[in-house]
Amino acid sequence: MNQSMRPQRELRPALVFLTGDLLAVPIPLEREEVILGRALEADVRINDKKISRKHAKIRTIHDTRSNTTEYVVTDLNSRNGTLLNGEKITQEKLQNGDKITIGENILRFELLDEIDREYQRQIHRLLSHDDLTGLLSSRSFFSELRREAARAKTENRPFCVLMMDVDHFKNVNDTYGHLTGSKTLEEIGACITQNLRSGDVAARFGGEEFAAFLLDAELGQALVAGERIRAEIENQEFSVVRQGKFSKAHRVTISIGIAAFPNDSSDPIELVEMADSALYRAKREGRNRVCAYRDLTAEEATQPLPSRS
């Protein structure tokens, strides 16, 4: 085909994270003005203490007479400044491939077609999800958890963190082999997902350890949800892999620990540590059980469980 006869690709502006929690995520610049910063109302919100609440903006400028479009980045009097290709700027025109540094994050300005955007999304998914279970990786889980904690503080809403560990999982590998062990973890991941509500977040922390956080859930509600997951796994038959074929033949159990925001802590990392402490109490008390970091109050014990829809 003649070069001039090829269909023109529709290129759209985007920012692609080269570092940080959002590594490889393409952020389309769909508005005439896009604010980057730490504030909840920022169009591109980045959780970095070195970034100002409203740090920089990118404007799209259309010239109808020449039928051209320009993209301009402007620093918004930020505390630590905005760098373009390593140089501190006040305002500059963007070119395809330019690198913008704000705080500890580097973003590349790119003009992407749909295939490019889908490729970037797939790269991000590979980096942010566990390839065996499809759940979030531990790094991505902490990123989502920090965002949820910030939202919950602003909106005064509760949530709970669950830490989960498969009991005596080494016996599965020793008895049935590592292929069965991997298949079991995959099926446990699916079981956890099926027993969470839409919007709840689950992750594989590595090995046989899983985590989740439940949106808008008090401690009593999380205990019911945790018990639902525990019972489902206890009652499920898991696959045994022999010569490439599957047969339903073995069972496992899981122990779960829970901590609640904000009554246990308002710090997301501390919440995970508290839930982990409750998990190990469940292990010490005999495994195959759900334990909270602290006892329920009378008010928490009467909270209804939110719908899984």
Q: Which residues are catalytic?
A: 208
Name residue, tokens 């074929």.
245
Q: Measuring CA to CA, how many Å separate 195 from each of 34, 227, 282?
A: 37, 10, 20
With 0-12 / 13-18 / 19 or more C-beta atoms within 10 angstroms meaning exposed / middle / buried, residue 179 is middle
Angle between helices 219-235 and 178-194 (to 10 degrees): 140
